[in-house]
Chains A and B, each alone.
Chain A
Amino acid sequence: MNLLRAEWTKLRTVRGWVVALFLAGVAIVGIGVAPGLSGNCHPPQCALPTGPGGEEVTDVYSWVHRPLSGDGSVTVRVAAFGGNRGPGGEGLVPWAKAGLMVRAGTQRGASYAAVMVTGAHGVRMQHDFTHDRAGSAAATVPRWLRITRTGGAVTGEESDDGVTWRTVATVRPARLPSTVEVGMFVTSPQFSASDTESFGRTGVSGGPSEATASFDSVAPAGGWSEAGGSFTVTGSGDVAPAVSGPNGLGTSLTQTLVGTFLGLVFVVVVAALCVTAEYRHGTVRTTFLAEPRRLRVLAAKALVVGAAAFVLGTAAAVAVVTLGAASLRGNGVYVNAVPALVAVRLVVGTGGLLAVCAVLALALGTLLRRSATAVTAALLTMVLPYLLAVAVLPLDAARWLLRLTPAAGFAVQQSALEYDVVDNLYTPSAGYFPLPPWGGFAVLLGWTALASVGAAYRLTRSDA
């Protein structure tokens, strides 16, 4: 305890260090509010709708529909399904969808269940935007589809010939009122492909695609009145979770936390100086005289500087995530909403990132005993791989770099979620890390542990 207090006193009484730590917080908050600066997006015009699960969704499609009271089912044959990916691009995009949908209402983001044929993912049963079950993998048309609503449950079936039926899935959407809308829908999502025309940033081409499906042999049953004949529906859009990336809208919370890097500079400098300054002034000998168990000194230093960095980073991140995001929204910049748990992870993760980096710098300082090399090593391993990954290297190499180097730790700040049901360029430059958030953080922890072991070895074996 005395050891901790001694180290804390050393930290707080060096004016330059306190100022530097304070500046770290200022840098994170200051830059957090700056990006995007001002926009012309004022909700509700350009806000995304949210689905039953609270996530932001895309909910754009064309359909022929009518109300259905109580239980009932609809059978249809998808006679033809074709589409394009903008001018000059023939063929369906993989997640183009055509099929039958039951939904709570026509408002965006309403609860729904749908059975569908897709461009390249076979027959699917999806509900409430994020849930997806696979039917048969072959998506040949013509193909028969049937959707049945029984109380709170919705069953999707498929058939090759309209005689033998196979159940795809029975699902329970979050809220279905007694009267629902049921009908035939078609939609076709944005597509994007990376191109490498300009150096320095992954170029992206893409745009809206379109799909057209013909439905015939419409056979309603149950409480639904007779409909007949055939329908041809053309649609563009998607019924799926919204993703950020090339086609994203607005700023992600991750982008508002870019100041973390500058904060890192200050924290790393102070952490390295914590130990190298003692070596330079020779006070380290006094310290070790007072506490001969050197590893405990190192642990106390790590605890003190790590805790200070954690508190600082967390506080700054809270300010950015709440005040910063609010001021951006006030300026008309759309900030993507994230689930509360993700926001908490961003805040705690930012604190953790600063804390672990501080300990890494401390360990490197102990190992190398020179502040300049320690600071460079700590900063470079955090920043250079990230810059190379987003701006220079091909995707494969970029992903490996962000799996293996300490820069993997930045994954903890990822706010964009990856969905199997949406095709997107899930690249580092679009804010998608190859490792899951805490997995990436664990890689950083591993490097820090390694550096600490090296530091402990040198500390116990070398003269002070």
Chain B
Amino acid sequence: MNALAVLRAEWTKFRTAPGMAWLLVGVAVATAGLSAWASGVSGGAVPDPVRVSLTGVMFGQAVVAIVAVLPVGDEYASGMVRVSFAAVPRRWAVLGAKALVVGGAVAVAAVPGVLVSLWAGQRWLSGYAGGLWRPGVGALLYLVLVGLLSVGVAAVLRNSAAAIGAVLGLLFAFPLMALSVPDPDWRRHIEQVGPMSAGMSVLATRGLDELPIAPWRGLGVLAAWALGFLLVGVLLTERRDS
């Protein structure tokens, strides 16, 4: 099969999976809903209004993780993965196609979520001005990268439940640990390497000097995690029996 056919096959599997459309709607609703609520209750003056208005990304990413884990995990669970690999012996191409489909779908689903978030922020928060491109596009890319990371983790663990646990653990563990470490240097280092704590710095618009890591570099850290897990996933998939 050529590359386009592999991609189309994955797209067909993705869009016909039960509940997938609802999950994608969930990405947008979760992102927009929590964002709007955070903007509403924060009301008035907050230090970084744009970032507060994008709080919902924290919720949206969890739904993204489900969306991204299922295409891999379900195929292993049902054993259909052997059929896929029989049809396309270049296993890396199958995983690559899955990553592309997931990334594209998440990007499309995230757009309304992010737009509504920014709109709600503008509506309820004061001092909301200028420079919306980096946080807006950053939020979109952040969600896509979390999707790619989840595809990679799922390829490594081959089980939806374990993969989703690992993804959420990986995302939330670093900020939680940073909160409990008294030493400021250690806290900063933890925030610099954590995929969520570093990646979310792309949403900041104020106090950039105080961030543990610069906005785009932070997103780069998340990209490195995603790429790393995808590579390990591909390597293991090529080596292991399916």
Assess whether A393 is in contact with B38, with CB atoms less than 8 Å apart: yes
Given A16-B162, A258-B177, A371-B160, 20 extra CB contacts under 8 A: A16-B159, A31-B177, A35-B182, A37-B183, A196-B46, A197-B207, A255-B182, A261-B176, A371-B161, A375-B161, A375-B168, A376-B164, A380-B62, A383-B168, A384-B62, A387-B176, A388-B58, A391-B179, A394-B41, A396-B41
B88 to chain A: closest CB distance in Å? 24
B83 at the interface (CB under 8 A from A): no
Q: Which one, B58, B66, B207, contacts A387 given CB within 8 A?
A: B58
A373: chain B residues at CB < 8 Å are 66
Mark A191-204 against chain B: 1 for CB-CB distance below 8 A, else 0.
00000111100000
Give Cα A379–Cα B62 distance, bound, in whole angstroms.
10
13 A-B pairs within 8 Å (CB atoms) are namely A35-B177, A36-B182, A37-B186, A197-B47, A371-B161, A371-B164, A375-B168, A376-B66, A384-B58, A388-B38, A393-B38, A393-B42, A394-B42
B92 at the interface (CB under 8 A from A): no
B55: chain A residues at CB < 8 Å are 388, 392
* Chain A contact surface mostly: helix
Cβ-closest chain A residue relative to B59: A384
A308 at the interface (CB under 8 A from B): no
A98 at the interface (CB under 8 A from B): no
Assess whether B161 is in contact with A36, with CB atoms less than 8 Å apart: no
Interface size on B, residues (CB 8 A): 45
B206: chain A residues at CB < 8 Å are 199
A269 at the interface (CB under 8 A from B): yes
Give Cα A392–Cα B50 distance, bound, in whole angstroms.
12
B106 at the interface (CB under 8 A from A): no
B69: chain A residues at CB < 8 Å are 372
Residue positions of B touching A, CB distance < 8 A: 38, 41-43, 46-48, 51-52, 55, 58-59, 62-63, 65-66, 69-70, 73, 77, 159-166, 168-169, 172-173, 175-177, 179-183, 186, 204, 206-207, 210
A212 at the interface (CB under 8 A from B): no
Q: Which one, B175, B180, B210, contacts A255 given CB within 8 A?
A: B180
Cβ-closest chain A residue relative to B41: A397
A355 to chain B: closest CB distance in Å? 17
Interface-central residue, B65, B70, B169, B204, by most chain A CB under 10 Å: B169
A391 to chain B: closest CB distance in Å? 7
Interface-central residue, B162, B181, B183, by most chain A CB under 10 Å: B162
Give Cα A375–Cα B47 distance, bound, in whole angstroms.
34
Known: A196-B47, A199-B47, A388-B55. Is A36-B41 also a contact (CB below 8 A)? no
A261: chain B residues at CB < 8 Å are 172-173, 176
Cβ-closest chain B residue relative to A401: B41
Give Cα A269–Cα B182 distance, bound, in whole angstroms.
30
B97 to chain A: closest CB distance in Å? 20
Mark A254-269 against chain B: 1 for CB-CB distance below 8 A, else 0.
1100100110011011
B62: chain A residues at CB < 8 Å are 376, 379-380, 384
**Nearest 6 A/B pairs, CB to CB:** A371-B161, A269-B165, A397-B41, A258-B180, A265-B169, A199-B48
A4 to chain B: closest CB distance in Å? 23
Cβ-closest chain A residue relative to B55: A392
Mark A347-387 against chain B: 1 for CB-CB distance below 8 A, else 0.
00000000000000000000000111111100110011011
